Amino acid sequence: MRAVLAGAVLLSGLTIFPLAFGQSSDGSQGESAICAFEDGKQLTARYNPVAAGHADGPPIGKVLIPGGSAITFFTETDLVLGDSTIPTGGYTMYLIPAKKEWTLIVSKNTAVDAKYDEKMDLARAQMVTGQLSSPADKLSLYFGHTGPKKCEINVDYGKTRGWVSFKEK
């Protein structure tokens, strides 16, 4: 029985370990952030971890497209972001930093190398921002499971962190 349990733990560790560190199966340099709800359904964001330097934050008022590619976003369940519903599926995400708040955009466009097109917006939400005690060297995204049916996305860039919650519908 112990051998079976140890084997199961080892197998699950080998499966989860690459995901935890954002390694892709194709060897590319992208990173992933994942959040799992209580029912096992997940959100996944893939992005290019571009250098952030030690600036106060990202360029203000411009759509942030890290490394020239949109952030990809996949959800295995219907979500609510702000006042909008996001159906199960694949999308792209964009950020528009401002001085006090950032805007997170989920777009119906799935071409990661396409220019941002506001007409393709599916959902927009204001992100709360705060200052990090030490600057992030690169763009970092991660999710936190913050409550029942709730995952918060956190985005660190330079000295700034922005966050907003996705709710499972």
State the Cα–Cα distance between residues 151 and 149, nearest whole angstrom: 7
State the Cα–Cα distance between residues 79 and 93, nearest whole angstrom: 14
Q: What is the pLDDT along the chain (169 residues), one digit of tens a residue?
A: 444 444 443 444 433 333 333 333 343 559 999 999 999 999 999 999 998 866 556 788 999 999 899 999 999 999 999 999 999 999 999 999 998 899 999 999 999 998 999 999 999 999 999 999 998 999 999 999 999 999 999 999 998 999 999 999 9
State the Cα–Cα distance between residues 146 and 20, nearest whole angstrom: 18
Q: What's the confidence (pLDDT) of residue 29? A: 59
In angstroms, how far is the first alpha carbon of the chain from the final one? Answer: 39
Contact (Cβ atoms closer than 8 angstroms) between residue 105 and residue 93: yes
